[in-house]
Amino acid sequence: MAITVDHKRTRMNAAALNDRRRTVFQRQLKLSAVFSKPIKTAEVIFFTSQISLMLEIGTPLKNALEATLSQTTNPDFKKVIKAILDDIVEGRQLSDALRHHPDVFDSTFVSLVKAGEAGGFLAQTLDRSVEMQEKRQALGVQIRSALTYPMLLCLLGCLVVVFVMVGVLPKFTVFFAGKENLLPLTTRSLMVLSGSLQQYWWVYLLGFIASCIGLILFKHSEYWTALKDWVFIKMPLISGLSNKINTCSLLRTLGHLMESQVPILQALEVTRETVGNRYFRRFIQQIQEHVRQGGKFAQPFSVNPFILESVKQMIATGEEIGDLAKVMLRLARFYNTEVDRQLKAIAAMIEPAALIVMGTIIGVIVSSVILPIFRLSQALQ
């Protein structure tokens, strides 16, 4: 009897020691992430693809993790994979091991893996997760590429304007002095602004730095989050695209979870955590409450003003035929194509619009310098 108690106490002590070691490791990893490069989405996709492929050809999970560990170059990610491998060796499931690293593997990924383990189709579940991650990464790349060129163009235009105001216009100010009554309003305004920039440049610099700091602080505040969510959900020019992006993300995540046989309430909870917009999170919560009370899944969709009419009809049809997951995934693929097309169209419109705006600004500045010269020469004649 005493030996049995000692064995139990030894196992409990070993488990407590492992938990303490895991906690210390997670703290060290978070601290090291501050001073090192982060784990990229592409690395997580590669990790998931490798594990899925090896499981599909019959490789044991432990050997698959060891092979992936040897191919990983990011030292922080190697630590994460090594910790996962240690958990697997100790007899834990992969989903439990992944849950210890929420900064690398989100709740959607963990839920899909847990469903795959329960249903015996882990490789297929990992493939679905790769597809979701690739779609999310492709969307981010498209948005950044659509905005990069206009932002660079605006930055270059601002630098040109500052150079003209500080380096070029002051040379003409001496020539224009005493003849202000013959100068157009734009020239007089630019002369005043140019003199102000030369004399009080430090005030403008401090104001720029203070504005940047204020914007950074505001960006991390609750007011910024509320304003951003409201703009992206209700502003006429961008709400249509934003609603499609949020709807597409909602349908894809929820569809993959339900296809992986995750219970609908748990799938809704996981999906709600992955959606960034508070209006869509509130909408998913309404669906949860409605389904929990025994209502139909499609009913909250039918009364939501942000959901497209085609989505409302297809969700109702999918619930009637008993194949909601297939319908949602097909809708997600369709609207993903629509989002791609709209982003390309917006990028094609933004570039010439930015060129026109910056060309107009520079044209006004140049004309404000050249036209007075002709006017003064005519007055002298």
Asked if residue 8 has pLDDT above 80, the reply is no
Average pLDDT value for residue range 321-338: 86
Name the residue range of residue 373's domain. 139-381
Note whether 185 and 75 are same-domain residues.
Answer: no
Domain boundary among 62, 86, 105: 105
State the Cα–Cα distance between residues 126 and 139, nearest whole angstrom. 20
Instruction: List the alpha helices (DSSP H) in 177-323.
Output: 185-199, 201-219, 222-234, 236-259, 264-274, 278-292, 299-303, 309-321
Asked if residue 217 has pLDDT above 50, the reply is yes
pLDDT at 210: 92
pLDDT at 14: 46
Question: What's the maximum distance between 2 C-alpha atoms anywhere in the chain?
Answer: 119
pLDDT in tens, 180-189: 677 777 778 8
Note whether 212 and 350 are same-domain residues.
Answer: yes
State the Cα–Cα distance between residues 12 and 137, nearest whole angstrom. 43
Note whether 60 and 155 are same-domain residues.
Answer: no
pLDDT at 380: 59
Question: Average model confidence (pLDDT) for the chain?
Answer: 78
CATH of the domain at 66: 1.20.81.30
Between residues 212 and 186, which one has the greater pLDDT? Answer: 212
Residue 378 lies in a domain: yes
pLDDT at 227: 84
Residue 112 lies in a domain: no
Asked if residue 35 has pLDDT above 50, the reply is no
Note whether 273 and 367 are same-domain residues.
Answer: yes
Residue 123 lies in a domain: no
Between residues 273 and 268, which one has the greater pLDDT? Answer: 268
Count the neighbouring beta carbons within 10 Å of the beta carbon of residue 231. 13
Residue 170 lies in a domain: yes
Asked if residue 97 has pLDDT above 80, the reply is yes
Task: Work out the pLDDT band at 9, boundaries 50, 70, 90.
Answer: low
Asked if residue 135 has pLDDT above 80, the reply is no
Between residues 367 and 288, which one has the greater pLDDT? Answer: 288
Residue 173 lies in a domain: yes
Q: Which of 188, 151, 145 is nearest to 368 (CA)?
A: 188
Between residues 131 and 80, which one has the greater pLDDT? Answer: 80
pLDDT in tens, 152-198: 877 887 787 788 777 777 777 777 766 767 777 777 887 888 888 88
pLDDT at 381: 57
Q: Based on the structure, what is the number of domains in the chain? A: 2
Asked if residue 34 has pLDDT above 80, the reply is no
Average pLDDT value for residue range 314-342: 86
In contact, 252 and 275? CB cutoff 8 Å = no
